[in-house]
């Protein structure tokens, strides 16, 4: 594998890469092995240029697969599966991408290439499918394993730490996200990544609920990218702005930044956030998109969202999650949390109900007081004992589905569904 040629592609030096690939193609007309390698480089170049789904690029991938099968060489077959999986991933066919990449991974291991340039990049892409199919928690250990490979280049380490940073941000793990940010600053501060670092700081501000600061950083980054003539294939500023407004619970502004160009996985992420905040009107669209992409984690959450729309309090208060005329979505979330706990601390409320990374008394106490007062305006439902909140003894909560059939341990499922 000519890693120098691949580095030209990674660095955006497409004209020089194209010149070398054309030379390889001209020399390989009578050698299928060399032809397959040249086609792999060409396919990788087309991907780098964002052309992987064009007719010409798809023909390149198809020709690579055909030549590899003719040779029956396991290395070439692994390379063709690598590229075919990338096409599937670009189309949103996550299950197909995962299958192709796992087959390629198996072949590379049989060839004792577990710590190779090819395997490093394959492992990175495979981690992304696990992220999109099964959640950020499943991607993190896979990404961390790549850092231990001798073949993990400086460029790849940046990609890994960048991906880990966003995984921790989306999981609201501020401590680990900040550790990744410090590592990125330490290792890559000379790499001309000023726009990237503004995006990192944007998401740290979102975690801290500093939405004004996050928006200012994001707009500055977008202006710098435009001045540098950097395309949206590298930075999707619309998604980052939509994510900011989703976390701010300004759903109207969030939808303003979603378009037909928005990555469907990003759409699922945004929809999940606002459904968790009580906007069930887009549940059908969320579920349909999750099924189309085969995104198992979102299919499961959509099912739970559908099952757990109603909550009934046995002292006569009835809440329909689609008609929250009595309680706000946040109050419903808090009640469901109380239903599964003997008591709930303010720190727990800050993390689970307000979805913040930590509890700050001056910020959260007024919000908690207002929320509890709103609930208790309908009756003595919640009490405070030594700073912890619990249901009054005479109040019991059960959750029912649309047919009003009681669901065993439904409150636990409800909490899991809206995280």
pLDDT tens figures, 94-149: 889 999 999 999 999 999 998 999 999 999 999 999 998 888 889 999 999 999 99
165 vs 310, higher pLDDT: 165
pLDDT band (50, 70, 90) for residue 91: confident
Domain residue ranges of the chain, discontinuous segments joined by +: 192-258, 263-307, 310-417
- Tell me the fold of 310-417: Arc Repressor Mutant, subunit A (1.10.10)
Residue 100 has a pLDDT of 95
pLDDT tens figures, 390-402: 887 666 665 544 4
Q: Phi, psi (5° rounding) for residue 267? A: -60, -45
Q: Is the pLDDT of residue 176 over 60?
A: yes
188 vs 315, higher pLDDT: 188
% of the chain surpassing 70 pLDDT? 86
Taking residue 32's Cβ as centre, other Cβ atoms within 10 Å add up to 16
85 vs 135, higher pLDDT: 85
Residue 199 has a pLDDT of 93
Residue 406 has a pLDDT of 40
Q: Which of 3-12, 144-153, 253-262, 394-403 has the lowest mean pLDDT?
A: 394-403
pLDDT tens figures, 263-309: 888 899 899 888 877 777 888 899 899 888 888 778 888 877 775 55
Q: Is the pLDDT of residue 417 over 80?
A: no
pLDDT band (50, 70, 90) for residue 403: very low
């Amino acid at each position: 594998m000519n890693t120098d040629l691949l580095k030209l592609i990674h660095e955006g030096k497409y004209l020089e890469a194209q010149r070398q690939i054309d030379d390889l193609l001209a020399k390989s007309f009578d050698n299928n092995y060399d032809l397959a390698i040249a086609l792999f480089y060409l396919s990788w170049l087309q991907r780098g240029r964002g052309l992987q789904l064009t007719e010409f690029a798809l023909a390149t991938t198809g020709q690579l697969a055909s030549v590899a099968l003719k040779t029956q060489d396991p290395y070439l077959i692994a390379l063709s599966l690598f590229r075919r999986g990338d096409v599937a991933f670009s189309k949103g066919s996550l299950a197909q991408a995962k299958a192709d990449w796992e087959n390629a991974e198996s072949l590379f291991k049989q060839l004792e290439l577990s710590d190779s340039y090819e395997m490093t990049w394959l492992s990175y892409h495979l981690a992304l499918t696990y992220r999109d199919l099964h959640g950020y928690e499943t991607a993190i250990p896979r990404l961390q394993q790549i850092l231990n490979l001798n073949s993990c280049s400086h460029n790849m380490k940046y990609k890994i730490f960048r991906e880990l940073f966003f995984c921790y941000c989306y999981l609201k793990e501020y401590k680990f996200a900040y550790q990744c940010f410090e590592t990125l600053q330490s290792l890559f501060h000379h790499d001309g990544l000023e726009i990237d670092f503004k995006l990192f700081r944007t998401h740290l501000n979102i975690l801290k609920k500093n939405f004004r600061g996050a928006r200012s950083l994001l707009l500055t980054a977008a202006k710098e990218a435009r001045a540098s003539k950097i395309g949206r294939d590298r930075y999707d500023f619309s998604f980052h702005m939509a994510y900011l407004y989703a976390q701010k619970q300004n759903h109207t502004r969030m939808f303003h930044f979603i378009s037909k160009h928005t990555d469907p996985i990003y759409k699922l992420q945004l929809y999940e956030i606002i459904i968790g905040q009580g906007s069930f009107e887009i549940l059908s669209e969320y579920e349909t998109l999750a099924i189309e992409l085969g995104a198992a984690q979102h299919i499961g959450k959509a099912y739970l969202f559908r099952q757990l729309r109603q909550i009934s309090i046995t002292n006569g208060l009835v809440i329909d999650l689609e008609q929250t005329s009595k309680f706000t979505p946040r109050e419903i979330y808090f009640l469901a949390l109380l239903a599964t706990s003997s008591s709930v601390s303010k720190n727990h409320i800050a993390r689970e109900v307000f979805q913040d990374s930590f509890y700050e008394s001056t910020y959260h106490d007024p919000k908690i007081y207002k929320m509890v007062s709103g609930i208790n305006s309908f009756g003595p439902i919640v009490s405070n004992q030594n700073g912890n909140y619990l249901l009054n003894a005479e109040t019991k909560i059960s959750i029912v589905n649309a047919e009003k059939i009681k669901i065993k341990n439904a409150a636990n499922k409800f909490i899991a569904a809206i995280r």
